[in-house]
Amino acid sequence: MCRARGSSTLRPGPSRKRGRLRRRWRRRWNVGDLYLELTVANIQDPERQQEISFLVDTGATRAWIPQTVADALGIQPAGTVMLEMADGSVREFPYGFCLFDFGGETVAGNVVIGPPECEPIVGTHVLQDFRLVIDMERHTISRGRAMRAKRVF
C-alpha cells in the first residue's frame, strides 16, 4: 500500500495486457496498474455516495463507472458522447454529472456511464482537477503544486 500526500489509499493492482504496444512498454518499464480510491456522489443528492477503486489510466481523458454504480447513486444520463476506444473503434456512451472527493477536496465533473461489467477508470480530467502526478516508474501518485492563476489582459 502507498499513500498520496494527505489522503486516500492507493494500491497497485494486477497487471493486465492491453495490446501489443502496451505489453512492450510494460515489459521495458516493469510497471503494473495503479488504483485510486475516490468517493463518487450524486451531484443533486451528495448523501448518495460510494467509495470506488478506480484504475488510473493516463491514456483516458474521462472517468468511467459501470451502469450498476450509476444506478445505485442515482446518476442520471445528461447526454451522450462519442469516444474512441483503446482498440480504435468509436462508440457512443451516456454521461452524467457527479461529485468526486479525494482527501477532503471535492470537485464536480462528468462521468461516462459504461456497461455493467466495465471497470471504473479515472482519466486525466479528474487527475488534473486534483493536481495528481503519476509516476509509473516508482508506482506512486502524489499531489502536484497549486495551479497558478494567470491574468489575461
At 43, give phi and psi (nearest 5°). -70, -30
**DSSP 8-class letter at 150:** -
The domains of the chain, with CATH numbers, are 2-143 (2.40.70.10)
List CB contacts of 138: < 8 A, sequence separation 6 or more.
none
The pTM assigned to this predicted structure is 0.72
Percent of the chain residues past pLDDT 70, beyond the cut: 74
pLDDT of the residue at 31: 57
Of the candidate ranges 18-22, 42-46, 102-106, the one whose mean pLDDT is the lowest? 18-22
Per residue in 31-40, pLDDT (tens digit) is 568 899 999 9
- CA–CA separation, 24 vs 30, rounded Å? 10
Helix, strand or coil, per DSSP, at residue 101 = strand
Distance of CA 126 to the CA centre of its chain: 6
Tell me if 121 sits within 8 A of 63, measured CB to CB: yes
pLDDT of the residue at 123: 94
Per residue in 5-34, pLDDT (tens digit) is 333 444 444 444 444 444 444 444 455 688
List CB contacts of 49: < 8 A, sequence separation 6 or more.
39, 40, 41, 42, 73, 99, 101
Q: Which three cell numbers, joined as nine digits, stand for 141?
A: 501518485
Helix, strand or coil, per DSSP, at residue 25 = helix
pLDDT of the residue at 4: 37
- CA–CA separation, 18 vs 25, rounded Å? 11
For residues 100 and 145, the model is more confident at 100
